[in-house]
A and B are shown apart, each in its own frame.
Chain A
Amino acid sequence: MSAGTSALPLVGRDRIIGYGLMVVAVLCVVGPFAWILMSSFKHQIAILTGAWSFTPTWSNYAEVLFGRRSDFVGNVRNSAVVASVSTVLVLVVGTLAAYSLHRFRWARWVTTGFLGWTLIFHMIPALTLVGPWYIAFRELGWYDTLGGLILTHVTMNLPMTVWLMMAFFSEIPPEIEEAARVDGCSPLEAFRYVALPLAVPGLIAAGILAFIFSWNEFSIALNLTARDTATVPVAIARFAQQYEVQHSQMAAAAVISTIPALLLMALGQRFIVRGLTLGSVK
């Protein structure tokens, strides 16, 4: 159904060049990450000297996961909850909003107003948002709760999700939607069984990005959480101390934090693909 698989494969010389370039790209992308991985098994002195031969150690992982000062497992759990829930919420709210703006005739001022407002909001530095949100959340009793943090993440990711989904909905050929309307599909059915399945790649992209931004979000998480609700970026930032960075533990923490994120994203992808393409009508 999708373009790349069958439509335009690489052949012959292009194929070799293509795979070659791919290998180069992967190496460039993965290289620094592999370096972080290697550092996570080194003692600090080996990292500082940039040594290539060293005695590997598990102590960094042990300290991050089980150290007395560290609550990393709890932080990962918090991040997992916040990122997953906020991603689901933002996808639901954002996709519905995007579809509404795309499919139905709204007054010009509504579309431009809403889209412009989300974009302007996206431009505001998080630094200036923290103060008002902190005060508001303290009043409402949402300080130091995961729910409060989830709401702020949904709000911050909404602009990008809405714009992205609008772009992907506009890719759907209007004839298909016309056909659905002619066939007597109710708007809800047209959305659920026609538009959504066709926008699955977009949902995956928007979902991945929303998840990653929520997972890595630091400023708001720092100020709206305390010890029990702290998320992974806050925990990792503890290794960047006033006078030096504890590279070995930070590397271990960074590696550990990518694993649940990758797992959750893989699960999410499968859910979206399976759940939405089921029963789609072409």
Chain B
Amino acid sequence: MQTMKRLLAATAILAASVVAGIPVQAQQPFAAVGAQPPITILVNSSPWYAGFEKAVELYEKQTGNKVKLDVTPYGGMLEKARNAVRGARSPYDLINLDTQWTIEFYEGGFLSPLKDVDAAFDLPKEVLSYGDSGYWNADKRWRTPQGGKLMAWPPNGNVLLYVYREDLLKAAGIAPPKTWEDVLASCAKLQDPGKMYGMVMRGERGNGIRFDWMYFMLGKGATVVRDPAAGDYTVTINSPQARAALDLYLDVAKRCGPPNAGALGQGDLIQLISTGKAAQGMVVSAAWSNFDDANKSAVVGKIAAVAVPQPAGGKPAALLGNWNMAIPKNIPDAQKQAAIAFSRWFLTSGAQRVYAEAGAIPVREDTFRSDLAQNPKFRWMPAYLEMQKYATQELGYAEGAQVEQILGLRLNQALIGELSSGKALNLAAKEIEELFKKSGRRTGALPPLPE
């Protein structure tokens, strides 16, 4: 009888401990990936690299798998990625591609669709979609999950934030602007040439002015081409709405910006805001970490962020950009499996939290909504998340790089006064139409704007 009781007690204790153990396991926010061969990742040197490195270290510690990071300057990323995939065997198992390069790699057939490597792999539903830039529909030649294969996952996404000096706006009795008209009104009060600029944005030739201006373009409901998803590449860049958008942009640049608005790059914006010479600005999310760093900023703790303003009466619109991690085709299967294993691990909530805490921009919505958002260091997160709801990607076609260069030049010429806004858009439209004609797209043009 005694032994029976003891046996029962022992079994009960054993059962209890097993049951008690399970919930702890279920709360574990990481993924079990098993033993994998070492992989090499091509990643760029950036403000969020520190976060990436931390996450990778945790991965190595948790799983025992080795990861080598080839940190490359941004200017060398594309070249290294191209060389890697065009050769016989890529030295990298995961390559990080900026949004505008993805089409080239998708169309060139250089990548292994992720589900081909592991049919069970999928982007967790909490991961932000970033305009579905990781999907590729080869028939439509468009990035869409409908009929498209998953080619890449996002390690980092960018949307412009509208940052402003809380102290200055409060002192002048201005509420954070919701429309561009609000912005112009605020500049009337804040602009003091030589001492303070009301609001600064990029105007430098190329990607700078193109990206920033597109916020105005999308806000006014204008597009570059009519319906690329359906194959209609009629050029619509010289529509009256686009012209209104350009005129609005020029107005803001003139009334709120410095005399060298046509040469401002992202670095200049960060400089003007950090040194306290600009009251408001439109900056990339990655720039945020500069403002609260005492070594880099004279305005620590004074900056707040809201969503980028819209033209009055318009539908909210914003432009997205994001990095994409992809697996090259020319590596052995075992390496592809190891790469997928890392990818799966990286997108878990546990990994994303470590990533965000170390200063990177996470890609999971639940990380944004977690208690991290309470930390004043992450006070930009609500604005970021809000814009993700309606932000879209642009230039998602093979000719994107050339279209960007055409627009980047003509817009800049309009800004520095070499061309009128109508002429700039007409010229751009003509050049873009020729471009599409040469690459065999179904295209056409709008009647030219009055110049």
Contact = CB atoms under 8 A, between A and B. Distances in A.
Given A45-B275, A238-B45, A244-B290, A134 B75 contact: no
Nearest to B47: A241
B80 A241 contact: no
Interface string B100-134: 00000000000000000000000000000000000
A237 B74 CA distance: 8
Nearest to A42: B295
A242 B290 contact: no
A95 B290 CA distance: 52
Nearest to A238: B45
B151 to A, nearest CB: 22
B186 interface: no
B326 to A, nearest CB: 18
Interface string A238-249: 111111110010
A245 B72 CA distance: 14
Interface stretch (A18-26, A155-163, A221-229): A221-229
A201 to B, nearest CB: 38
Interface string B257-282: 00000000011001100110000000
A119 interface: no
Give the contact-size bracket for chain B: 35 or more
B50 A138 contact: no
A222 B72 CA distance: 8
B274 A69 contact: no
A139 interface: yes
Q: Which residue of A59, A238, A242 has the most chain B CB atoms within 10 A of its CB atom?
A: A242
A226 B91 contact: yes
Contact of B284 (A131, A135, A234, A243): A243
A186 interface: no
A272 interface: no
B87 A135 contact: yes
A139 B46 CA distance: 32
Contacts of A128: none
A153 interface: no
B451 interface: no
A223 B296 contact: no
Contact of B68 (A49, A227, A241, A242): A227
Nearest to A243: B266
Contacts of B169: none
A43 B296 contact: yes
Contacts, number: 90
B73 A234 contact: yes
Given A48-B271, A226-B91, A240 B83 contact: no
A44 interface: yes
Interface in A142-179: 143-144
A130 B79 CA distance: 9
B296 A45 contact: yes
B296 A227 contact: no
B65 interface: no
A139 B50 contact: no
A243 B265 CA distance: 8
B194 to A, nearest CB: 15
B73 A45 contact: no
A237 B73 contact: yes
Nearest to B286: A243
Given A45-B275, A45-B295, A69 B49 contact: yes
B266 A244 contact: yes
B258 to A, nearest CB: 15
B10 interface: no
B74 A227 contact: no
23 contacts: A43-B295, A45-B295, A69-B53, A130-B79, A134-B83, A135-B86, A138-B87, A222-B73, A222-B76, A222-B79, A223-B79, A227-B70, A234-B73, A234-B76, A237-B75, A238-B45, A238-B71, A239-B45, A240-B74, A241-B45, A241-B46, A243-B284, A244-B271
Interface of A: 43-45, 48-49, 59, 68-69, 130-131, 134-135, 138-139, 143-144, 222-223, 226-227, 234, 237-245, 248
